[in-house]
Amino acid sequence: MPEEKQVIESNEFNRREFFVKLGLGSLSIAACGTAVFAYQFLSPNVLFEPSPIVNAGKPGSYPEDSVTLDVNSGIYLIHAKEGFFALSAVCTHLGCLTAWKPELGIIACPCHGSKFKRDGEKIEGPAPKPLPWLRTWVSDEGDLMVDRSVTVRPMEFVRV
């Protein structure tokens, strides 16, 4: 009988072993969580932005005397009698996206009321500067290209 009692006692799970296993399990979970957060902290946090160069398509797709807003890239492509030019569609006041009002022939900021002429010149409102002209050119394939990161002086048209 004593042998049976010893076998039963060795197979039993006592209180001390339970708390040791509970403590080791808690420590291992905490160590894994610390390792995950350390990896996230040490890994590079890189912001991938789209290219500032926009392919606006073929010049023939823009009728003369038109103003076209590209919402995704935040530019206006304008086909005037003198040629093509591009304006930033971002208001110079607080960075709102402006809107072309064809019935009035102006570009207006819907947030704070700034108004601009078709060539980007400020008419009224809190905007401190006119809308900047952006570098525009025709690629080798015949597409209109706009570089949103490079401003040019006004009245630089691209003739096609």
pLDDT per position as a tens digit, 84-94: 999 998 988 88
pLDDT at 100: 87
Give the DSSP per-residue string, 76-132: EEEEETTEEEEEE-B-TTT-PBPEEETTTTEEE-TTT--EE-TTS-EEESS-SSPPP
Residue with tokens 């969580």: 33
pLDDT at 8: 52
Q: Three-state DSSP class for 31?
A: helix
pLDDT at 154: 84
Output the CA–CA distances (angstroms, integers) from residue 160 to 20, 58, 79, in the order listed.
81, 10, 10
Strand-pair partners of 136: 146
pLDDT at 70: 86
Does residue 99 contact residue 69 with C-beta atoms inside 8 Å?
yes
pLDDT at 3: 57
The number of C-alpha atoms within 13 Å of 59 and in the hemisphere containing its C-beta is 20
pLDDT at 11: 62
pLDDT at 80: 87
pLDDT at 15: 86
pLDDT at 28: 96
* Weakly modelled stretches of the chain, pLDDT under 50: none
